[in-house]
């Protein structure tokens, strides 16, 4: 079921002036999918186009992998880990904390694409793959190789 992006809470505090905990308005769209294989929190995920039924090709996701023809169709970033067959939430547009491969996203503003392991890497001008996200900060070794990114909506 599609999530709404129409209603947004724009205040950082509630009516009493107490700070809102969490993400009151991070301007992101989240959709629910089923994992074909294990997916880690923060993984870039792709539609699983290896599924026989056309209706399942956009229902199931796998970690994005440029080395496999059936997992190059980037859809978003996993908000949580999921085992095979489990449902998970995926950010398909907006802010997410994503896995970024070592040596990539050295600073904010670096554009990103998928790699072979569910991680993002710096976008290569010679690439035929889609531009997926832009880094909001440098990749951090202290947070297990993650960075805040803005996911570009793909579908």
Question: 3-state DSSP: the chain helix, strand, coil percent, rounded to 5?
Answer: 5, 35, 60
Q: What is the pLDDT of residue 12?
A: 67
- Binned at pLDDT 50, 70 and 90, residue 7 comes out as low
Structural domains of the chain, with CATH = 29-151 (2.40.300)
**Pairing relation of β-strands 111-114 and 146-151?**
unpaired
Q: 27-56 burial, b if ≥16 CB within 10 A, otherwise e? A: ebbbbebebbeebbbbbbbbbbbebeeeee
pTM: 0.85
Other C-beta atoms lying within 10 Å of the C-beta of residue 64: 28
Structure confidence by residue, pLDDT tens digits, 110-145: 999 999 889 999 998 888 888 999 999 988 766 678
Cα distance between residue 39 and residue 123, in whole Å: 22
């Amino acid at each position: 079921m599609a999530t709404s992006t129409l209603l947004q809470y724009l205040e950082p505090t509630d009516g009493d002036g107490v700070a809102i905990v969490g993400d009151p308005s991070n301007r992101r769209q989240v959709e629910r999918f089923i994992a074909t294989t294990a997916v880690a929190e923060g993984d870039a995920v792709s539609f699983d186009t290896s599924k026989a039924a056309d209706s399942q090709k956009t229902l199931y996701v796998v970690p994005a992998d440029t080395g496999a023809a059936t997992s190059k169709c980037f859809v978003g970033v996993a908000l949580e880990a999921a085992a095979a067959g489990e449902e998970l939430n995926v950010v398909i547009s907006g802010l997410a904390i994503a896995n970024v491969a070592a040596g990539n996203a050295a600073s904010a503003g670096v554009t990103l694409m998928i790699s072979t392991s569910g991680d993002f890497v710096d976008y290569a001008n010679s690439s035929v793959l889609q531009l997926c996200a832009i880094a909001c900060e440098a990749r951090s070794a202290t947070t297990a190789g993650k960075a805040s990114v803005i996911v570009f909506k793909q579908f």
